[in-house]
């Protein structure tokens, strides 16, 4: 049977810019530092999932903007020339915040605030790593997923759909996923949607009525254990205001490692995102 493609939609059109080709995206991915912050960019670019724009030669770009699948409106910036970064970002519609390393965002933020002319706020992007065995957590409704579970994933609520790979089969073989299945449907999921040569990202989502039952901890435990068996270090990222996610990470044994920053324009989010002039 042919593989089952992920239900990714088309990217919004960007006038006046040309996105990197898939092969150029792979080249950019290989230049990224091997750190927790760049795991999503590395994995998604290598799989052709992300869209990226670069200013200057690809071998040594002055600025890069990366748009992540599944994180609509939250592009990532890095580079040494923030004005060149704005020249890229100003052509891209729909964003309401920008994510980056602290050292990159410090000179970029004043340019964003100057050009957008709306109130902004900082939001921390926290990264945790797990370099010991995860603390065991289990639940009778939670198990690892495999190819026979693809129909379950396809029927799951949109916020529970895994990603990061072109097909479901790749997501469940190259990546790892575990879920809580209650009454024949997925109500919580943990998955490893991206990895680099050292780290593997773990993301967790639980439907509101099923929270505080230990489902996310049990699913994340299974994924973390499998990731470590593959020789990688699990990472957990969450915002500085998401205390519940931070508590789950701590319960499993994750420890703080590093952080990035979001500059958020709430009024842009409320009005459908940035609109290029």
**CATH code of the domain covering residue 213:** 3.40.630.30
Regarding whether 120 and 34 lie in a shared domain, the answer is yes
**What's the average model confidence in pLDDT over 60-69?**
96
Question: What is the pLDDT of the chain when averaged over all its residues?
Answer: 96
pLDDT digits (tens, 9 = 90+) for 120-159: 999 999 999 999 999 999 999 999 999 999 999 999 999 9
For residue 112, tell me if it sits in a domain: yes
Under a CB-based contact definition with an 8 Å cutoff, are residues 234 and 39 in contact? no
For residue 131, tell me if it sits in a domain: no
Name the percent of the chain lying above pLDDT 70: 100
Regarding whether 265 and 246 lie in a shared domain, the answer is no
Under a CB-based contact definition with an 8 Å cutoff, are residues 159 and 191 in contact? no
**What's the average model confidence in pLDDT over 46-63?**
96
Regarding whether 170 and 107 lie in a shared domain, the answer is no
Boundaries of domain holding 227: 142-253
- Statement: residue 1 has pLDDT above 80: no
For residue 13, tell me if it sits in a domain: no
Output the pLDDT for position 131. Answer: 97
Alpha-carbon distance of 45 to 73, in angstroms, equals 17
Q: What is the pTM of this model?
A: 0.94
For residue 3, tell me if it sits in a domain: no
Alpha-carbon distance of 164 to 160, in angstroms, equals 13
Regarding whether 243 and 148 lie in a shared domain, the answer is yes
Regarding whether 208 and 112 lie in a shared domain, the answer is no
Regarding whether 154 and 233 lie in a shared domain, the answer is yes
**What's the average model confidence in pLDDT over 208-214?**
95
| Structural domain total, the chain | 2
Alpha-carbon distance of 127 to 124, in angstroms, equals 10
Under a CB-based contact definition with an 8 Å cutoff, are residues 107 and 90 in contact? no
């Amino acid at each position: 049977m042919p593989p089952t493609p992920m239900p990714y939609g088309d990217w919004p059109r960007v006038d006046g810019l040309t996105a990197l080709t898939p092969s150029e995206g792979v080249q950019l991915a290989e230049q990224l530092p091997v750190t927790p912050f760049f795991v999503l960019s590395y994995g998604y670019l290598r799989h052709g999932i992300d869209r990226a724009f670069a200013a200057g030669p690809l071998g040594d770009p002055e600025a890069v903007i990366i748009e992540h699948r599944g994180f609509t409106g939250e592009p990532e910036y890095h580079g040494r020339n923030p004005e060149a970064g704005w020249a890229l970002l100003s052509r891209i519609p729909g964003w309401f915040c920008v994510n980056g390393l602290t050292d990159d965002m410090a000179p970029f933020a004043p340019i964003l605030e100057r050009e957008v002319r709306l109130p902004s706020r900082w939001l921390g992007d926290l990264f945790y790593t797990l370099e010991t065995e995860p603390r065991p957590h289990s639940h009778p409704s939670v198990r690892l997923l495999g190819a026979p579970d693809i129909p379950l994933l396809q029927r799951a609520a949109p916020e529970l759909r895994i990603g990061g790979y072109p097909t479901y089969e790749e997501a469940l073989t190259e990546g790892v996923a575990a879920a809580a299945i209650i009454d024949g449907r997925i109500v919580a999921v943990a998955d490893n949607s991206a990895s680099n040569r050292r780290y593997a990202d773990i993301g967790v989502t639980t439907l509101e009525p099923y929270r505080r039952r230990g489902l996310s901890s049990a699913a994340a435990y299974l994924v973390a254990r499998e990731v470590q068996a593959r020789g990688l270090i699990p990472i957990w990222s969450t915002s500085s205001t998401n205390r519940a996610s931070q508590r789950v990470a701590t319960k499993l044994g994750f420890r703080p490692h590093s952080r990035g920053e979001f500059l958020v324009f709430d009024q842009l989010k409320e009005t459908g995102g940035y609109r290029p002039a």
